[in-house]
A and B are shown apart, each in its own frame.
Chain A
């Protein structure tokens, strides 16, 4: 479209002209992210307890890391976290957002849809430490869920949710969905606010069923948001820490441990800061690679459409 048309100002001038806008961001980035990131990489080649002088030990931390079974188990659990924190919330949030926006909203008024949105968003507001206590009450073998199941005569269904390796990861995943859904929902509904409602009204008057409007209007319109939510929730899943920490501390017997928890354990408990730094360096590199793939797909998708 018009964006590619050459104009008198010339391409180079146009592009350079926006650079000052990047300056504040660049300074902040160097100080808060890049320098600490490089410092962390440097620390990963040392043995260090967090204070005192680090001792250079070359690749020892990395060699040890690749033989550490817990580390690999942690990455396997990351896949589960991506499902629970990225895939399900994105898909469910998209669907729910569309239902609230163009089904509930027009029929029951904006109050109904925004009230429901607020309800689904509220878990995001609760400090995770507190959410951990509350879900502990629910999922404990003597907790609310089992009490309800027993009360309904479904004794066979009641489980030692967080203590049994067979169910612990599933239980943690469930809480992650509960936490993340509201985020996806709110981003999608904000995105829908950009959409001209006339578009939906026209489609609806023309008799397009809801599912068809969802597929052909909602999803294409929300493409930028879908990518944003997809990528940010995937990144969040790869570095998830708090829900695991408060619910299971990685247990039982490392059945739910994740890379960030594993790194945290070495940073702050065993005082092996160098080892923790090596874990997070590998973790960050994996995240960057995944992010690059994601951004490439996104660029093809969105710029191809333009």
Chain B
């Protein structure tokens, strides 16, 4: 029995380990964003609370902010909402993409529950969502001062997600931009 006959076994074990890790990793259903380090897609959409006003990507570029995809139909967004309020109170800049929502419901949500967003744009047919590679709600993007998407979190942003994933990046980007 020469040593090298063990090679296939070792290879098999290495592969098994890789598969095992992939199988049991957290959030295995979250797809990595294809838009990382790419600019925010162009859009021109009405503001939810002021439909007369058309908002463009250019208009909101120039600062570090979170872009939160939400809808009044989305149960997880309801869970997330109070924490977004907390973040907004701490001075975190959050813009909203109101994704595939009835506008009356969206406005009611913002009035009843409070509004953590600088403003939300109405993406009624979900086209901006598709340009962002969104496949559900909530999803939250971190956008830098140049309007580049630098990070994406799929699912609810809570204290742990903010402290561990978003806050360090958000603050680093703010430092970068002085």
Do the two shown chains form a genuine complex with each other? Answer: no
Q: List residues of chain B with CB under 8 Å of any chain A CB.
A: none
